[in-house]
Structure formats: C-alpha cells, structure tokens
Amino acid sequence: MNNLQLTATDIRLGIIEAVFGAKSGHPGGALSSADILACLYFNELNIDPKNPKMENRDRFVLSKGHSCPGLYSALAQRGYFSKDLLKTFRHTDSILQGHPDMKYIPGVDMSSGSLGQGFSCACGMALSAKISGKDYRTYTLVGDGESQEGQIWESIMFAAHYKLDNLCMIIDNNGLQIDGKVSDVMNTMPYDTKLKAFGWHVIEIDGHNYDEILNAFKEARETKGQPTAIIAKTIKGKGVSFMENQAGWHGKAPNEEQYLQAKSELEAYKKSLEGGNN
Amino acid sequence: MADKIATREAYGDALAEFGALNENIVVLDADLAEATKTIKFKKKFPERFFDCGIAENNMFGVCAGLSTTGKIPFASTFAMFAAGRSYEQIRNSIGYPHLNVKICATHAGISVGEDGATHQCNEDIALMRTIPGLVVINPSDAIEARAAIEAAINYNGPMYMRFGRLAISVINDNDDYKFEIGKAIKMADGNDVTIVANGMMVEQALIAKDMLKEEGISASVINMHTVKPLDVDTLISEAKKTGAIVTSEEHNIVGGLGSAVAEALCEVCPVPVIKHGVNDEFGRSGPAKELIEYYGLTAKGIVEKAKIAISLK
C-alpha cells in the first residue's frame, strides 16, 4: 500500500513537471486521479510495458483526456517511456500531445480528449472481447463534468444493454469543472441512483483511499452480467495544497515559484512515506 | 441494362456475402437496419450485428474501439446522421487515430424523396473530405457499391461510403470493369468537354454525352467514384485534352465533388470548371423522381452546364 502511495506521489511529481514544462495543461483533474492511476497501472491492469500492444492486455481509455499529464506520468513510471520525456509535454517536437494520441505514445490505447468520446471507444473494446471470447478487461476514467455530454449516457445505455461486465468505468468525482462547481454549472449528480436505474453495478469510494480503490476493482472483476461503475470521490488538485479544490487549477500551469512549492510539498510527502518504510 | 437496384441494397448484399469470408467483419446500425439494408447481414450473422439504438455518436465511438482490437466495423445510418450529427466523433475518434472503421451512410442526397430536407443530406461529401486521411467514395451503381465494399475490407484505414435509397440503373456490368480506390474510371472519351460525375449522376452523364453528340459536341465521361483521394492525374490529362470540365453530383455544389475538382485543377491546370448539383439550397418532400427533375439533376442539366463550360474556353 505504501509503495502505491509512493508511486502516486511520483506520478504527481511527473504531472507538475509536465505542466510546468508545457507552460499549459490540466493539473487539477490529473492530480485528483493520480491514486486511481497508480492502482490501475501498478496493481490492477494486466499489461506489459515491453509489449504495449500485447493482444490480450487489459485496456485503459482516459475519456477525460485533458488529464493526460497523469496518464503520461503513470506510463513513464511504469516504464513505457523515459520520465525525461514528461518535460517535453505539449512541445512541438514531442510525442506527448496535449491530449492522448494512440498513434505515437506507447501504452496509450485510445486517442481521446474531445469529451464524451473515449467512453464509447472503451465500450467497443469491451464488446470486442465478448465477441471473441477473450478475457481482457477494459477500464475507462470519466470526468464528472464530462458526464454532462449526452454521449456518456448513450454509452451507459449501450454497456448495460450488452451486459459488458468486462467493462469498468471510474468517475473521477472531484466536483469541479472550468466554470465552477459541477453542481452549479449543470448538476450531474446523484450518480448512484442514475447508474443503477440504467442497469449498472455501482460502487462508491474515496478515490484517495487505496484499500477502497483496490477492493472496488476486485468487486468489479467479480461482478457478472452488468458493467460496473466506480464513483470515486476525489479532491481536484490533490497533493498540492494551493491547487486543492480550486476550479482555477483545472487548466493552468504553475509559475516557477508555484512549481517549486508544489515540488517541495510532494517531495516532503514522499520523504515522509519513505520514512514510514524504515 | 439490368434491372434497377439501389446502392443500399447492393451494400447489404455485399455485407452478407463478404461477412461469410471474413469473421472480423462486424456490423453496427442505429435503428435503421431495415432501411440501410444491414438487416441482410444481421439475418445471416446475428452474433456479429449490434444495434446501437438511436445513438449515432456512441455507435461511431464503439466502432473506433472495436477496430483497435482487429475487428472491421461497418457502421450504418443515414448520411445526415453519420456525416452530419457525428462529424466530430468521426473526426476525433476515427479520423485522427486513423482507425479501420467503415462508415456506410445510406439515404444520401435529395433522392431520399418524401422524408424531405431534414433527411436529405447534400453536405456529407463536403464534411467528410475535410478529415485528413479519410477515404470518401460515392459509387455509381450496385456493381460499384459491391466493389467498394470489397475494396474497403482489403484497405486498412477509415472510409466513408455513400449509398442511395432510390433504385438506379446498373451501368458497370461490362466484363472489364475494375474498381480501385482513388482511380477514376473513364466511361467515354471525347475532345470538347469532360463530364466528371459520381453516384447516380454518372448514368445521367452518359445520357448527356449522347445528347451532346447529337449537337456535334464530343464529351468525355469520368466516373470519379472516389472523391478522396482524388484522381488528379486523370483530371489533368482530361483538362489538357478538352480544356473544359463539368462536374455533376447529387450533392450541394458547395464543398463536394465539384469543389474538389476545382480545387485540384486551379493549382495545376486551370480550365473552366462548371459545377452541376444541388444549388446551395435545402431539399423538400416529394417523390424522388420528381425531386430529381425539380432540382435539375438530369442529363439535360448537365448538357446546359457543358455548353457554358465550352463557351468559357
């Protein structure tokens, strides 16, 4: 568990490096989902960084594609490419595009970024496994603001209709979007009753609690006949004090002073975790 | 000439035919299987047919996901709801990652008939050909529709194919007929003007050629079934030879075949290009054959444009 926390902190450090290097990007929603990504890439997913296209690998689609500093950082930590590459995020000659690009980035299973679309693609991957009798699983991370897109609810209908129990959708429920609180901009909640009414198995967790995240993935794997939604309550900007719960940090890069502060906060936290190991 | 048959019928038949040969082929529809004719595949291969309900945007995303795992998804709905409603899903989830998805849109153009303007998509070719790397095909009869499907199965990349509701003549029943993506077919050789057409307008172009001949005008007829990638070499050689081009399409004259031909020729071999098609207006309800006359999508309409093109030489 402690190792996962360390990994998540490294992912967060990578996020800060990436958006600082790009002088743009989306740190808030990347930080809120870092613990979920650590659990996926370092515990749950059946993947091989040396063979990113392994046929029977588990798939992951970042439907909230703007959070890709988190995905890229997780992939780099997992060994898909060098961590040095994170500093080139959004640079003209870099493979690390502003939103995920499956053509050039090892480990990215689907190009995404236009909200509402990645989830549909994940449904297609899960359906394909059902058609072919393969046992890989498909995971997708959806934003709570993103669920305002009608296409999300088309996918929710589709996955339940075709009983895609090999599909697990995680909602990064950090409660904030560009214009403010999700509940003020266009309320999408409650998710649990809505998703249950659509025929989904629903698990509500604290998206920063590793026991809860890992147990939810296990429960999803064991759930048959219906897809599983994990509603993960999270804190936007989690891990960097001045970014936490601030909608303004949805899509803004830190200046040098803020960068150094974020880095020192995360490094201090990492040190405290490492101390706990001794 | 054989009996008339709609290209959508040929599409459904081709899916059922080739579906037996390639088990990676899967077919998706958005509650229009009876109309798009994907029902012919559904009846033979129900385990590889997936109705997505009236939710086209999700359908195209599902296709993108399926294709990443090696499936060859054919997705159908009306042209309006494929190219129109789902333009951005096709651009971002299929075109940008260059995925092997075959978008097969039926009920294109005003020959939809009675359903009227909301269902008559005269803008699909314009929309689809702006997406980098997307192959755009508008077959001229049932034989070409079948050939396009066969070519699509053997081509690894995104394609948009357009099929019609109306039964039209079979014009490609010659033994030496050969379909190749991006390669125009010369249907007639002439010296005074070149008619470049696709879809159901190819038959009208051939009739127009005969009408012009009676007036002593010799016309080439080019079947430009692939709008993208456009066969620019054939266009250049025709432009050099006849020096006057008429394009003809069952589509808005803005953005479609005519625009593609004009864009290509103006840079390399500028000659007069007169566009024949739907004159930047919406369709209306009526029997398809009456609408074709109403909008002048006839051989007579092509003849008039041909004379204008020749006068501008």
Query: What pTM was estimated for this model as a whole?
Result: 0.97
- Which residues make Cβ contacts (< 8 Å) with residue A209, sequence separation at least 6? none
Q: Which residues pair with B188 in a beta bridge?
A: B221
**What does the pLDDT average to over B78-102?**
98
Query: Mapping DSSP to helix (H, G, I), strand (E, B) and coil, where does residue A215 land?
Result: helix
| Predicted pLDDT of residue A141 | 98
Neighbours of B116 (CB within 10 A): 15
Q: What are the residue ranges of CATH 3.40.50.970 in chain B?
A: 4-169
Query: Mapping DSSP to helix (H, G, I), strand (E, B) and coil, where does residue B222 land?
Result: strand
Single out the residue of B260, B261, B208 nearest to residue B239, CA to CA.
B261
Give dist(CA A268, CA A55) in Å, integer: 40
Residue B62 with chain A: CB contacts under 8 Å: 120-121, 123-124, 127, 158
Whichever domain contains A151, its CATH number is: 3.40.50.970
Average pLDDT, chain B: 97
H-helix or E-strand containing B153? Answer: helix B142-154
Is B3's pLDDT higher than 90? no
Give dist(CA A172, CA A178) in Å, integer: 15
CATH topology of domain B4-169: Rossmann fold (3.40.50)
B185-311: CATH class = alpha beta
**What does the pLDDT average to over B277-302?**
98
Of the candidates B47, B50, B65, which has its C-beta nearest A121's C-beta?
A: B65
Question: Contact B65/A113, CB-based, under 8 Å?
Answer: no
Residue A130 with chain B: CB contacts under 8 Å: none
User: Which residues form the domain of A67?
Assistant: 2-276
Q: What are the residue ranges of CATH 3.40.50.920 in chain B?
A: 185-311
Per-residue pLDDT of chain A (278 residues; tens, 9 = 90+): 679 999 999 999 999 999 999 999 999 999 999 999 999 999 999 999 999 999 999 999 999 999 999 999 999 999 999 999 999 999 999 999 999 999 999 999 999 999 999 999 999 999 999 999 999 999 999 999 999 999 999 999 999 999 999 999 999 999 999 999 999 999 999 999 999 999 999 999 999 999 999 999 999 999 999 999 999 999 999 999 999 999 999 999 999 999 999 999 999 999 999 886 54
Calculate the CA B132 to chain-centre distance.
Answer: 18
Of the candidates B47, B52, B97, which has its C-beta nearest A102's C-beta?
A: B97
Number of domains in chain A: 1
Q: What is the DSSP string of B220-249?
A: EEEE--EEES--HHHHHHHHHHHS-EEEEE
Closest-approach residue (CA) in chain A for B57:
A151
Chain B residues at the A interface, defined by Cβ less than 8 Å, are: 26, 47-48, 50, 52-53, 55, 57-71, 73, 88-89, 92-93, 96-98
Contact B18, B153 (CB under 8 A): yes
Residue A118 with chain B: CB contacts under 8 Å: 61
Give dist(CA A217, CA A257) in Å, integer: 38
Burial profile B176-196: b = 16 or more Cβ within 10 angstroms, e = fewer: eeebebbebbebbebebbbbb
Residue A160 with chain B: CB contacts under 8 Å: none
Contact A214, A179 (CB under 8 A): no
Give dist(CA A42, CA A79) in Å, integer: 11
Is the ipTM of this structure higher than 0.85?
A: yes
**Which one from B56, B123, B203, B238 is the annotated catalytic residue?**
B56
